[in-house]
Structure 1
Amino acid sequence: MKFKMVTAWQYAKKNFVFPRNIIFFGLVLLLILGFSTIVNFTPLAQPATAQVGPFSTTIPRYAVTAEFGRDRAGSDYTSFPTSAFASDCQKFCIDDSRCSAYTYVRPGVQGTNAVCYLKSVAPPLTPNSCCVSGVKL
């Protein structure tokens, strides 16, 4: 008994009959799908659509500035110790609807911990290297 090694294509060609039109339409389909993934047929600008449901599906987020070496003194409605990162104070301001501005005071300036001040209105800026301030836009 002698074994002969054949490839899958040779086996299929010998044992199955492939109609030419199936191969032709398969190649055409591959070309169309390949071309459509390369070229994006969607327009660049989509028309605006009104929201149908009574509830908003988006969470309102705000852009908040970060002004390094600046203090916004006054108009505080709350203050609390926070981590050693000004971005945490900025996030508290974003998440609080009453917050219009914030000032983050670095650790060691007013005790051992950093302090975050949330403000109801945005006071004017004053230069101060101890602080990072920002306003909600």
Structure 2
Amino acid sequence: MKLKMVTAWQYAKKIFVFPRSIIFFGLALLLILGFSTSLNFIPLAQPATAQVAPLSTTIPRYVVTAEFGRDRGGSDYTHFPTSASASDCQQFCINDNRCSAYTYVRPGVQGTSAVCYLKSVAPASTPNSCCVSGVKL
């Protein structure tokens, strides 16, 4: 008994009947898929270009602390009367890019209304029951 070495293609030709149209369609499909896959990698080889203007529409979010009974004196760049809530002052600091820290002074301490101080740098914190301070992290 003599054994013959048979390739997979020769074996498939003997066992299965392949119409020429199916073979042509399969080869065409392989060529199209291979070509489209290689096109997807072409942009990766391109050099990067810098953006001229920022395209992001997301707003950066910050973590801002709330230190009850603490005052951060000095480094104020603005102050204004606000509602009777320290969270409003904290929100003003979050929304202002220049703000690094804030101090909220309760109503009745410096007049009839509360005052919010926004600070360009975060000064040292000192104990004071009149205030709520915080730092933007």
Q: Which runs of 5+ in 2 are unaligned?
A: 1-50
* Residue identity matched to 1:136: K
* Cα shift readout 1:45-83 (whole Å, capped 9, x = no counterpart): xxxxxxxx9611421011100000000000000000000
SS in structure 1 at match of 2:93: helix
Matched with 2:26 is none
Q: Percent identity between the aligned chains? A: 86
* Residue identity matched to 1:101: A
Matched with 1:50 is none
Q: CA RMSD in A?
A: 1.2
Q: How many residues align?
A: 85
Matched with 1:135 is 135
Q: Which runs of 4+ in 1 moved over 4 A?
A: none
SS in structure 1 at match of 2:63: coil
SS in structure 2 at match of 1:91: helix
* Cα shift readout 1:24-65 (whole Å, capped 9, x = no counterpart): xxxxxxxxxxxxxxxxxxxxxxxxxxxxx9611421011100
| 2:135 paired with 1:117 | no
Q: 1:99 and 1:73 mapped to 2: Cα distance?
A: 14
Q: Flag the structure with higher helix content.
A: 2
Q: 2:63 and 2:85 mapped to 1: Cα distance?
A: 18
* Cα shift readout 1:69-128 (whole Å, capped 9, x = no counterpart): 000000000000000000000000000000000000000000000000000000000000
SS in structure 1 at match of 2:89: helix
* Residue identity matched to 2:72: R
Q: 2:106 and 2:61 mapped to 1: Cα distance?
A: 26
TM-score between both structures, scaled by the size of structure 1: 0.60
Q: Which runs of 5+ in 1 are unaligned?
A: 1-52
